[in-house]
């Protein structure tokens, strides 16, 4: 069912010097599948992350935030699938900490140097004994070329593993970026969690890496939407192992920052778009460009108003060029001084609405032609400024 | 398909002295159905309204706002179904004004004393000539007992007409309140408009009536949701004909205000709940009580976060007591300092979650028992204050 989404070719995934990945079968929810991932991160690496804004955040998210705030170097990640360890109260926190302690023991580091991640069913307790028992096997499996297996290990309702690598030359050094992600189904929200892990061998200062993870998240994982719900477990972590030999990148304003950030962003966008393409029930992939805003934030708001509208999503499923639904969503985006007379709407390259109404030359046949393919671009001009933003989403089915 | 919703008994609808209603076949979109309603409002009446906040508001909404701002007495309403006259630019405004002028001409009043309302397909032009041609027939049909026909005339995707009457004694005078409404389908948003008209014979000062319409709307039409989209045409108008002989109600703080407002609110809640019960595809009616908030507004926000979540709505359709989805929605309601450890969740009378996790005594069998009936109450305690709010919504189907 995934929309134009192929699994990554195994030989396309590039190792990141300083990162080793190992998987094991812990039997957390199902027997006979590799559901535990341990990532070993070499000394000297920097790690930054962004996490769900849901107030009911999962126990591992709370523990990640604590451990990152500690400022101890992060030396490992532990990721399980099957149980999200969310809505589990104090016991959940203890289980997340026990997972960290088990990995720390096996790797000879401290529990507070380990970041935990969980994805799977909500409000069930993590069978932490089974997880802990499988840690030695995952550690024994650690290898630099473990990315493809890692991508498979973190899947829940995903039908296709999500992983990609890119390279860029910075200060005459080739820098590599490799990432994996898993996404949220539309209808199976027990499993609705986005996890993203991207690593690079580039040298980046710690505060700069924190700026970069936010810059990238705001243009990738934070602007894709399948069902509109922010899960309790959403996490995106960026690791820089600083082994590529480039001069350390310090500060957001530099050309080197931009080069690396664009490469990381490309990886993050491919991964986050893959989550949308794999959205449960998705038959179409929609790119929503919003231009001419006063701020990027209001452009994102308009894009998400369109992407979250069940009426728009079902119209796209039905290949129905329902302009009213899109304009209605624009009008609902809470821009108090929006002037509908200045708003323009394109479906693909076809101008369909302007001046508060249907464009004079537009015919429904043109609209239907644009809506038929599996990849559709909607472009909204707000006529208020020079900012823009892009949001990606999928359609959703109707039953009538 | 409507959930526990019967049409009103014709003899249950009480006339309001000073209000006459007439319908006619204008052939606006379909032949052979009464699609035009004219409401004649006696001299001395007061009228107040609230309208969609969608920035792409329909032409009749713009004209209603203009005419109400004029402070001329409102003497008539003209309502058509079939075409919403939304997304129609300048031509749409001209057509809405022409509708008012036709009714004003037939009734011997001014166009600016007429309020226009339209519901139906968006982004198509109103066939105003056909509407104007049918006005004399609608005016010839004016009668005090026209409420049932009026409720039928304004339907679009509604399967059941929505109308109700109530009475209350104020200052030893029996006061009558009668209302009609039409609602929005889930999947047919071309028609997605809420119209509500409530009239009373009570005497109410004009500014007080404006306070009352907002008070009532915030606890009825503004807290029901079918698909989460605010339409371009949503309108709710409250008419007080001042013929009941009660001393004029002035100011929000009086006991008389409270008595009348509660009666109007009961009518408005029955009508707005009927819209939810008639939501396209609805199989269940959900009452979401949110208690213990710091403000009523944040309680509404939490209730709507639950009601708008497609994941919650599909869980209810499937009779699946998916606590995670509900708590996840609570966590997404943007209450920055919400403490999940203080949140409680009841399904019906069963305590299902507390202290950030599942309630110790809760079993899934209890949850399934609560979720089975067509009427379900969800109760969320925020543990932050003394305010509360109620939101009503319906389930939505899944295809898997």
Give the integer Cα–Cα distance in Å for B257 and A302: 40
Spatial CB neighbours of A117, under 8 Å, sequence gap ≥ 6 = A60, A64, A77, A78, A79, A80, A195, A233, A235, A237
pLDDT above 70 (res B191): no
Quick check: helix, strand or coil at residue B279?
A: coil
Helices (H) and strands (E) in chain B, counts: 10, 16
Which chain B residues touch A311 with a CB distance below 8 Å? 187, 189, 192, 227, 229
Interface probe for B, chosen from A60, A353, A356, A384 (most Cβ of B below 10 Å), is A356
At which residue do the structure tokens 């398909």 appear? B1
Interface probe for B, chosen from A59, A311, A383 (most Cβ of B below 10 Å), is A311
Spatial CB neighbours of B27, under 8 Å, sequence gap ≥ 6 = B35, B127, B130, B134
Residue B192 pLDDT class (50, 70, 90 cuts) = low
Query: Tokens representing A98?
Result: 């026990």
Query: Tokens representing B237?
Result: 């108008």
Q: What are phi and psi of B252, to 5 degrees?
A: -75, -20
Query: Which strands form B36-41's sheet, in the order they lie side by side?
Result: B19-24, B36-41, B76-83, B114-121
At which residue do the structure tokens 């203080």 appear? B342
Q: Minimal CA–CA distance to B79: which of B99, B59, B62? A: B99
Asked whether the ipTM of the predicted complex exceeds the cut of 0.90, the reply is no
Average confidence (pLDDT) over A212-239: 90
pTM: 0.89
Average confidence (pLDDT) over B381-396: 94
At which residue do the structure tokens 């451990």 appear? A67
List, for residues B195-223, the tens digit of each pLDDT value. Answer: 999 999 999 999 999 999 999 999 999 99
Geometric angle at alpha carbon B392, from B389 and B396, rounded to 5° = 140
Average confidence (pLDDT) over A335-344: 93
Average confidence (pLDDT) over A17-39: 96
Quick check: helix, strand or coil at residue A38?
A: strand
Give me the pLDDT at residue A398, please.
57
Q: Minimal CA–CA distance to A277: which of A62, A15, A4? A: A4
> In sequence order, which ranges of A190-345 are alpha helices (DSSP H)?
206-218, 255-277, 296-308, 310-317, 323-331
Q: What domains lie within chain B, and their CATH numbers?
A: 10-277 (3.60.70.12), 285-394 (3.10.20.340)
CA distances in angstroms from B235 to A247, B153, B231, listed in the order given: 63, 16, 10
Q: Which helix (H) or strand (E) holds B49?
A: strand B46-51
List, for residues B60-79, the tens digit of each pLDDT value. Answer: 999 999 999 998 999 999 99
List, for residues A114-124, the tens digit of each pLDDT value. Answer: 999 999 888 88
Q: Minimal CA–CA distance to B232: which of A353, A300, A370? A: A353
Which chain A residues touch B341 with a CB distance below 8 Å? 89
Average confidence (pLDDT) over B230-248: 93
Spatial CB neighbours of B363, under 8 Å, sequence gap ≥ 6 = none
If you measure CA to CA, which chain B residue comes closest to A226? B310
The radius of gyration of chain B's CA atoms, rounded to the nearest angstrom, is: 22
B230 contacts chain A (CB < 8 A):
yes
Average confidence (pLDDT) over A195-202: 97
A383 contacts chain B (CB < 8 A):
no
Virtual CA dihedral for A353, A358, A363, A366, nearest 10 degrees?
20
Give me the pLDDT at residue B195, please.
94
Residue B398 pLDDT class (50, 70, 90 cuts) = low
pLDDT above 80 (res A384): yes
Q: Minimal CA–CA distance to A155: which of A193, A182, A131, A132? A: A182
- Distance from A85 to chain B by nearest Cα, in Å? 10
Q: Which helix (H) or strand (E) holds B178?
A: strand B173-182
Interface probe for A, chosen from B227, B331, B360, B362 (most Cβ of A below 10 Å), is B331
> In sequence order, which ranges of chain B are alpha helices (DSSP H)?
59-70, 89-107, 128-140, 147-153, 206-218, 255-277, 296-308, 310-317, 323-331, 364-371
B91 contacts chain A (CB < 8 A):
yes
> In B, residues 124-163, which contact A (CB 8 Å cutoff)?
none
- Say yes or no for a CB contact (<8 Å) between A357 and B281: no
Quick check: helix, strand or coil at residue B120?
A: strand
Out of A381-390, B117-126, B161-170, B291-300, least confident range: B117-126
Q: Minimal CA–CA distance to B270: which of B377, B119, B161? A: B161
> In sequence order, which ranges of A30-82 are alpha helices (DSSP H)?
59-69
């Amino acid at each position: 069912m995934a929309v134009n989404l192929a699994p990554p070719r195994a030989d396309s995934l590039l190792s990141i010097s300083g990162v080793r990945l190992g998987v094991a079968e812990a039997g957390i929810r199902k027997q006979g599948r590799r559901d535990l991932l341990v990532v070993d991160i070499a000394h000297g690496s920097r790690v930054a992350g962004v996490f769900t804004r849901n107030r009911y955040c999962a126990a591992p998210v709370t523990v990640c935030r604590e451990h990152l705030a500690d400022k101890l170097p992060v030396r490992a990640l532990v990721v399980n699938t099957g149980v999200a360890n969310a809505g589990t109260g104090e016991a959940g926190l203890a289980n997340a900490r026990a997972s960290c302690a088990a990995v720390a023991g096996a790797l000879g580091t401290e529990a507070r140097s380990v970041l935990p991640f969980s994805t799977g069913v909500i409000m069930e307790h993590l069978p932490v004994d089974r997880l802990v028992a499988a840690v030695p096997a995952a550690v024994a499996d650690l290898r630099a070329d473990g990315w493809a297996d890692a991508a498979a290990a973190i899947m829940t309702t995903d039908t296709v593993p999500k992983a990609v690598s890119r390279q860029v030359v910075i200060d005459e050094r080739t820098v590599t970026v490799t990432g994996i992600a898993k996404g949220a189904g539309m209808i199976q929200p027990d499993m609705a969690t986005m996890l993203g892990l991207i690593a690079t061998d580039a040298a980046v200062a710690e505060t700069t890496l924190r700026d970069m993870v936010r810059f990238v998240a705001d243009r990738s994982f934070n602007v894709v939407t399948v069902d509109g719900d922010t899960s309790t477990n959403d996490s995106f972590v960026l690791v820089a192992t600083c082994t590529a030999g480039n001069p350390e990148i310090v500060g957001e304003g530099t050309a080197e920052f931009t080069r690396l950030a664009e490469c990381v962003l490309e990886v993050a966008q491919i991964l986050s778009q893959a989550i949308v393409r794999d959205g449960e029930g998705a038959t179409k992939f929609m790119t929503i460009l919003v231009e001419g805003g006063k701020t990027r934030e209001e452009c994102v708001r308009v894009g998400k108003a369109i992407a979250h509208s069940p009426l728009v999503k079902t119209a796209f499923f039905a290949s129905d060029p329902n302009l009213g639904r899109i304009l209605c969503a624009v009008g609902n985006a809470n821009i108090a001084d929006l002037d509908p007379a200045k708003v323009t709407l394109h479906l693909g390259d076809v101008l369909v609405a302007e001046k508060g109404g249907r464009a004079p030359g537009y015919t429904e046949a043109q609209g239907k032609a644009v809506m038929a393919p599996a990849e559709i671009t909607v472009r909204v001009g707000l006529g208020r400024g020079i900012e823009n933003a892009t949001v990606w989403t999928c359609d959703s089915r109707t039953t009538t």
